[in-house]
Structure 1
Amino acid sequence: MGNLMVSISGVRGRVGEGLNPFEVVKFVSAFAEFCGRGKIMLGRDTRIHSLLISQLASGTLLAMGCDVIDVGICPTPTLQLAVEHSDASGGIMITASHNPAEWNGLKFISSDGTFLTPEQHKKFVELVENGNFNFAKWNLTGNYIQDRSFLDMHIEKIFKIDFVDFESIKARKFKVVVDCINGAGSEIVPRLLEKFGCEVIRLNCDGNGKFTHEPEPLPENLTELCEVVKQAKADFGIAVDPDADRLVLVTEEGEPFGEEYTIVQAVKIVLEKRSMLSDKNVVVNLSTTKAVDEVAKIYDAKVYRSPVGEINVVKKLLNTLMQKNLTSLLQTSPCPM
């Protein structure tokens, strides 16, 4: 594993070097074992080698006795949502996120749709290092099906968010430029915006996996998007990374809004919509801007911080909710005396 980056977020490396077929089979076999050889959902981004790795992963899972649901090209959050709302034992997303084109990787998703916890990750890596896998007998191999319905399901779920005023947004008839870097968001992001009533100008939305600029959505990589926003007199621009789990906004002046400001704005909107609640809580990681705390003060909300990493934020959120519910239960339960 020397040439691979192995972390709580998954494994990634340069294709043909650190990430080769042997490593794919090893990690996927270990994940099948980790998931009790249950049903696994499989998704991928559009990198030119993602289909190859997906086929390797699928064949390995079937050989381990796992049933496979192939979701196809989709954002990482779509696959997470699909796993959460299914009876699958886990999911594997083929992507290297915002890394350059020669990279690829595997993101491992637990049965609840989140990434593996540190404890789960440790157990999983032990299985990888042990490497002693028993493949299924010829009559016990898994079943393979394709299901491309989850993009639609994801959009439907978004339109069920109760505090979003969809009709007001539609009435604004925003003009939006979208740069999906020909990645996994190329279909779903423009479709979602059109359902919001936006006029969408597509930029790098062919979904062919050919990155027209460096894939990490940093300001220096978004010069084309910024220029098109100004030329088209658009209301704003959107850039996502290859697996569409990271977003950057561009203002009508063609200036990147910045991810730090985006999360502050999101926190402000949610707290504003939830202002009547007596107990308001926000969970972010330790590197998130302290501007979140300033916004939280305005709405009398408490901020909790976790170590960096999506699963750490999720764990902190769940633990916070559990503590709040326990406190509420203790305060409202009758005294046993």
Structure 2
Amino acid sequence: MTSIPKLFGTSGIRGKYQEQITLELAINVARALAKYIGGVGKKVVIGRDTRTTGKIIENVMSAALMECGCDVLKLGMVPTPVVGYATLKKGADAGIMITASHNPSEYNGIKLWNNDGLAYKQHQEAEIEKIVYNKDFEVVGWDEVGCEYDISSFKDKYVDDIIKVSEINPNKPLKVVIDAASGAGSYLSANAMRKAGMDVITLNSQPDGFFPGRNPEPNAENLQTLMKTVKAIGADIGIAHDGDADRMIAVDEKGRLSDFDKLLTIMAKEFGGLVITTVDASACLDTQMSMIDGEVKRTPVGDVHVAESIVENNATFGGEPSGTWLHPDFCMCPDGLLSALRIVHCVQKNGPLSQQLDAIESYPTLRSKITCPNDKKDKIMEIVTDKFQDEFDKIKEVLTIDGVRLQFEDNSWVLIRPSGTEPYIRITAEAMTQQKLDEIIDIATKFLEKQL
């Protein structure tokens, strides 16, 4: 039996333009989506980020959808969360976001959304892959082709709605610096923050698919200018987005980049109850949630898994340490703009961000990797699943949903997980003391080396 080539990764289809992401692929994915949702008379929302190749991919996908009888609702250049929200609010049957998120300019990608604002699940992606592979498309005659509608003004409703749900106080203006990376959040993030009454200064907020100011990955290396600016002008907080603005990372008033896990913890405490995160998130979240009688549940890495678990468990909030947060009281699409408004509200309500961050425990953490050929990963991980826990005692929980994660009775933990893109097996560990961390890493490394 011939295996169907896999197109989707952890966050949609992604690759270099005209290498992995070709116009032919974009057309076929659109045709497959049309077939999957039922073709004639169905409605599909489509948006794109600022990449130079976004418009041409949007054009061919729109044409392919109409060729199959679907009506296309075009948002134009917008952040990913606008696509998810528009798909929900416009009663569309599916949504498409053309983006490569934090990847460099030469990349692009395609991510699909359900009519409830939730990203396509793995079984849905597998169906799309099957239709593409078999070229099982259904084009229509001249009398059934779809229509195209401009719904770019919908972004105004989106801005009004995220301001309202954020509960940000317009009568307590803070000085906010926003670095949008010249990505899809360039206009809208600052617009939302100003409309909410904040005093806003912008960096890299002119849309430009070459990302001239900084790489769209919001990490310490790329956010040096934001960090220095916040400190130099005495701002209350800095906000950074990735290329499609579904992520948000904050800089405190001292110019320090926030610890991603601590930032997630601050927001999780605002919601309380059950929160969802991934297997690689810090134990500081567990510690802080236990203090307010909250609960933490973990999923495989990827915002789709977090979203599915939020729905299944009726959770209050969820997110990854990368800055990808989901707000189920609004929409099930990761939303960097709403996250920004809500973290500003936290500063209004609870005081300086630096104090909130420093009040959360810091545990020694280490990430390492061991070279492992891709064709050996499955066999090695079978051994890890079967035998790794035998190397330790005082284990509180074993998770095998994404690699193998051992959590110990003192909340220390270790995760062994194969890389999805490189020939490595990764080891991540966090412990209450440096000595315990060194012991865990030493045992894990020797165990893996022995198997290899």
Q: Same fold (TM over 0.5)?
A: yes
**TM-score in terms of structure 2 length:** 0.66
Cα 1:165–1:70 shift into 2, 3 Å: closer
Query: Do structure 1's residue 88 and structure 2's residue 99 form an aligned pair?
Result: no
Consecutive unaligned residues of structure 2, counting only runs of 5 or more, are: 316-452
Partner in structure 2 of residue 11 of structure 1: 13
Matches within 5 A, 1:26-105: 26-37=28-39, 38-105=42-109
CA-CA distance at 1:192 after TM superposition: 1.2
Partner in structure 2 of residue 244 of structure 1: 245
Contact 2:5 2:133 in 1 (8 A): no
Partner in structure 1 of residue 199 of structure 2: 199
Cα 1:97–1:229 shift into 2, 3 Å: same
Contact 1:40 1:90 in 2 (8 A): yes
Rounded to whole Å, the distance in 2 between the matches of 1:6 and 1:158 is 30
Q: Letter of the 1:289 partner, please give it.
A: S
Cα 1:3–1:206 shift into 2, 3 Å: farther
Give the alignment partner of residue 27 of structure 2, picking from 25, 28, 31: 25
Contact 1:4 1:11 in 2 (8 A): no
Partner in structure 1 of residue 230 of structure 2: 229
Query: Do structure 1's residue 177 and structure 2's residue 139 form an aligned pair?
Result: no
SS, match of residue 221 in structure 2? helix
SS, match of residue 296 in structure 2? strand
Cα 1:224–1:49 shift into 2, 3 Å: same
Query: Do structure 1's residue 209 and structure 2's residue 209 form an aligned pair?
Result: yes
CA-CA distance at 1:4 after TM superposition: 8.6
- Asked which structure has the greater RCO (Cα within 8 Å, sep 6+), the reply is 1
Query: Do structure 1's residue 108 and structure 2's residue 112 form an aligned pair?
Result: yes
Cα RMSD (Å): 1.9
Rounded to whole Å, the distance in 1 between the matches of 2:117 and 2:239 is 25
Partner in structure 2 of residue 312 of structure 1: 305
Contact 2:183 2:216 in 1 (8 A): no
Rounded to whole Å, the distance in 1 between the matches of 2:5 and 2:36 is 23
Rounded to whole Å, the distance in 2 between the matches of 1:245 and 1:3 is 28
Rounded to whole Å, the distance in 2 between the matches of 1:282 and 1:20 is 38
Rounded to whole Å, the distance in 2 between the matches of 1:4 and 1:258 is 34
Contact 1:5 1:13 in 2 (8 A): no
SS, match of residue 164 in structure 2? coil
Contact 1:230 1:254 in 2 (8 A): yes
Give the alignment partner of residue 278 of structure 2, picking from 285, 293, 299: 285
Cα 1:239–1:175 shift into 2, 3 Å: same
More displaced 10-residue stretch of structure 1: 99-108 or 232-241: 232-241
CA-CA distance at 1:3 after TM superposition: 11
Partner in structure 2 of residue 334 of structure 1: none
Q: Letter of the 1:181 partner, please give it.
A: A
Rounded to whole Å, the distance in 2 between the matches of 1:216 and 1:251 is 18
Rounded to whole Å, the distance in 2 between the matches of 1:260 and 1:176 is 21
Rounded to whole Å, the distance in 2 between the matches of 1:266 and 1:246 is 14
Rounded to whole Å, the distance in 1 between the matches of 2:237 and 2:168 is 18
Q: Letter of the 1:282 partner, please give it.
A: V
User: What percent of counterpart residues are identical?
Assistant: 33
Contact 2:31 2:64 in 1 (8 A): yes
Rounded to whole Å, the distance in 1 between the matches of 2:127 and 2:163 is 37
Contact 2:48 2:58 in 1 (8 A): yes
Q: Letter of the 1:287 partner, please give it.
A: D
Cα 1:205–1:287 shift into 2, 3 Å: same
Partner in structure 1 of residue 221 of structure 2: 220
Rounded to whole Å, the distance in 2 between the matches of 1:209 and 1:264 is 33
SS, match of residue 205 in structure 1? coil
CA-CA distance at 1:165 after TM superposition: 4.3
Rounded to whole Å, the distance in 2 between the matches of 1:91 and 1:265 is 31
Contact 1:181 1:210 in 2 (8 A): no
Contact 2:240 2:248 in 1 (8 A): yes
More displaced 10-residue stretch of structure 1: 52-61 or 130-139: 130-139
Rounded to whole Å, the distance in 2 between the matches of 1:284 and 1:16 is 35
Rounded to whole Å, the distance in 1 between the matches of 2:302 and 2:33 is 20
Q: Letter of the 2:80 partner, please give it.
A: T
Contact 2:7 2:129 in 1 (8 A): no
Rounded to whole Å, the distance in 1 between the matches of 2:314 and 2:236 is 37
Contact 1:3 1:17 in 2 (8 A): no
Partner in structure 2 of residue 332 of structure 1: none
CA-CA distance at 1:237 after TM superposition: 0.8
Give the alignment partner of residue 126 of structure 1, picking from 127, 130, 144: 130
Rounded to whole Å, the distance in 1 between the matches of 2:300 and 2:5 is 26
SS, match of residue 160 in structure 1? helix
State how many pairs are aligned. Answer: 309
Q: Letter of the 1:260 partner, please give it.
A: D
CA-CA distance at 1:6 after TM superposition: 2.4
Rounded to whole Å, the distance in 2 between the matches of 1:27 and 1:124 is 7
Query: What are the Cα deviations for residues 190-232 of structure 1, in whole angstroms up to 9, with x where unaligned?
Result: 0111122211111111113231221110111111111221222
Rounded to whole Å, the distance in 2 between the matches of 1:4 and 1:18 is 12
Query: Do structure 1's residue 146 and structure 2's residue 146 form an aligned pair?
Result: no
